[in-house]
Amino acid sequence: MYITKKHLPRRTFLRGIGAAVALPLLDAMVPAATALAQTAARPKPRMGFFYLPHGFINDRWVPPTDGPGFTLSPIMEPLAPFRSQLTVVSGLGNKPAESSAVHAITPGTWLSCVAPRKSHTAYGGVTVDQVAAARIGQDTPFPSIEVATEPRGGSAACDGTYGCSFGNTISFRTPTVPLPMESNPQQVFRRLFGQGSTPEERDSIKRNFRSVLDMVMEDAADLERTLGAADRVVLDTYLDSVREIERRAEATAQSDLNDVELPEFPSGVPDFDARLRLMFDIIAIAYQADLTRIASFMMAAEVSNQAYTHIGITEAFHPLSHHNNDRQKMDQLVRLEHYHVQVFAEFLAKLAAIPDGDGSVLDNSILVFGSNMSDGARHNHFPLTPIVVGGGCGAIKGNQHIRCPDRTPLANLWLTLLERAGVEVESFGDSTEEISAV
């Protein structure tokens, strides 16, 4: 048998006039008779941080048992198919997030664990996603992406002492540079797959829209003739996914409400469910194509005015979180939180179905789902119970609930996950040590 070392470069693109589309990992990108781990195509860890504001109903969120094989809590039930790669970490606290500002610094301190200066000019800490982006994201087209479902929350996301810099983002590139969270799926899609570096260029493209896939199909057809049967299936499935997201992003734009002045407590924003799911799908395909390895997602805005009428909840998220131990309101919050976990679980299922090296994208990911508040009615930052899902390229143990000593710094988890992703740092935020059990 004749074996050749010729192979496609990992960063191969399909190209057409005015368009380029990245490709997923194909067998043809791995030199014959070469172990995947010895090639540039070897899996790289993806990291994702998925933020839900206003805390949780903790007696329905925190698992009742500890250790391996723990009992899933009611809200976490949708994650049952992934429990072998699920790590729950409880007992954490984020002291740097504590202030009289309540909501205004909560999002921006979740991933930094650094107390911001009292100033309208942003000065806090570099967030863990951006530390990772600087180390493992620089050889991708987009070192990180930051997305949201809502352009902004209510007025309490700003504060007379701290301003608005920390209330509308979870990501800081430097202590003074907060990164905007893009809530328009069409803009995110065009950033990843389309053209245009300015609003004017993007508006021009929107007026003269032509599918990016249509532009590259001739190149795709030429490539397919050189691929084996398995790679052709992977390529066709991937391009079909791009086409579907492209269609949905374009359709979503027809009912976009970013430029509409909404009332303080709207009865509902149309298509919130579709927007949430579409953002998750865009992240999945960006991971698959290695367009980015780092994603941060605010699944709802801090001080969210979003109602969840599609699951039978008419009161907006933020006022509902002020439940004052009203069992009816708390039950609605449990249903709202369970819904977000369910959509997150559907995202995990898609990652688990995407081949990546010798495993799946989920096998090679470190994904965090959580909040920087414990109880939305109390606005407290202890106890925090984030969950970590994914194998981290074999570095994450999974299937365990780790109950840390009370008020263990949240930064200890971020320090640990950076280490598991191959990013060596001596400390992070107010960390004291790694959580070795992760």
The predicted pLDDT at position 208 comes to 53
Structural Rg of the chain based on CA atoms: 22
The pLDDT tens digits for 158-167 are 988 899 999 9
Instruction: Choose the most confident range, by mean pLDDT, from 210-214, 286-290, 432-436.
Output: 432-436
Per-residue pLDDT tens over the stretch 51-63: 999 999 999 999 9
Alpha-carbon span 84 to 343, nearest angstrom: 19
CA distance 358 to 37: 9
- Please choose, from the candidates 84, 132, 124, the residue with its C-alpha nearest in 3D space to the C-alpha of residue 105: 124
Helix (H) or strand (E) holding 244: helix 229-253
Q: Which residue has the tokens 């896939």?
A: 213
**For the segment 324-381, what is each residue's pLDDT rounded down to a tens digit?**
999 999 999 999 999 999 999 999 999 999 999 889 999 999 999 999 999 999 999 9
Average the pLDDT over 141-150 and give the result: 94
What is the domain partition of the chain in residue ranges? 43-184+256-420
**pLDDT at residue 262, as a whole number:** 31
What is the pLDDT confidence band of residue 273, given thresholds at 50, 70 and 90?
very high
Contact 269, 262 (CB under 8 A): yes
Pick the CATH number of 43-184+256-420 from 3.10.450, 3.30.450, 3.40.720, 1.10.10: 3.40.720
Q: pTM (2 decimals)?
A: 0.81
Examine the pLDDT at 244 and tell me if it is beyond 80. Answer: no
